[in-house]
Amino acid sequence: MHHGHVIDVYRSWFRAPDGTEIVRDVVRHPGAVAALPLLDSGEVVLVRQFRAPFGREMLEIPAGKLDVAGEDLAAAAARELAEEVGLAAGRMEPLVRYNGSVGFCDEVIHVFLATELTPVAHERQGPEEEHMEEVRLTLDDALAAVWAGDITDGKTVVGLLAARVRAAGR
C-alpha cells in the first residue's frame, strides 16, 4: 500500500479460528532499541527531541531504529547512547522488550538499562538529533513527570517504570 523511509504499510488478509476472513492494514517497522542511562547520582539522562507526528519536542530516553538486519541489540543501544548523549555504559542490561502498537504495527522496542556511565565523544546524526537538548532529572522527578503527563513517550514511560520496579526488587 505504501513504502516509506521508516515504515511500510501492507494490507493483509488473515483467517480467524472459525474461518472468518479478516482484512487489516499492517505497518511494518524495523524495530528499535532504547537505553535508559542511570547515573551513579541517581539521575537519568534524557533528550528533548522534535517529533514530527506531534509537531513539537518530546522528552525521551536515547533510542534509535535498528538499521542493520541481525545487528546486536546491546551494541545498537550503545551506539545510540554515544550518539545522542555522549555516554558509554560499563553495563548495558536488557530491561524490558515490548510492542508499541499491537493493533496495527509489528514494531518491537528493546529497552536497556545503561549504568557505569563514562563520557565519550558524540556525533549526532540527522536534523532531529542535531537539535537535541540533553536533560538530566532524578528518577523520582522523571516519574513525577510521567504521572503529570509531561513525559508521554512510550519507551521512556516503560523504561522509567521498569527501572523503578526493578530497583524495588521487582
User: Which active-site residues does the annotation give?
Assistant: 128
Report residue 65 as a C-alpha cell: 531504529
Footprint of its own copies on residues 56-115 (CB under 8 A)? 58, 60, 65, 96-108
Residue 38: CB minimum distance to its own copies, A: 16
Report residue 44 as a C-alpha cell: 537519568
Residue 101 burial (CB count, 10 A): 11
Q: Is residue 51 close enough to count as binding its own copies by CB under 8 A?
A: yes
- Between helix 139-148 and helix 154-167 the angle, nearest 10°, is 130
Residue appearing with cell numbers 532524578: 138
Q: Is 37 exposed, middle or buried (0-12, 13-18, 19+ CB in 10 A)?
A: buried
Q: Rounded to the nearest 5°, which phi and psi values hold at 158?
A: -60, -45
**x/- binding map, residues 119-158, to its own copies, per CB under 8 A?**
--------xx-xx-----------x--xx-x--xxx--xx
Q: Using the rule CB under 8 A, which residue among 32, 35, 74, 114 binds its own copies? A: 32
Residue 37: CB minimum distance to its own copies, A: 18
Residue 96 burial (CB count, 10 A): 19
Contact residues: its own copies, CB under 8 A: 1-2, 4-7, 9, 11-12, 14, 16-18, 20, 22-27, 29, 32, 50-55, 58, 60, 65, 96-108, 127-128, 130-131, 143, 146-147, 149, 152-154, 157-158, 161-162, 164-165, 168, 170
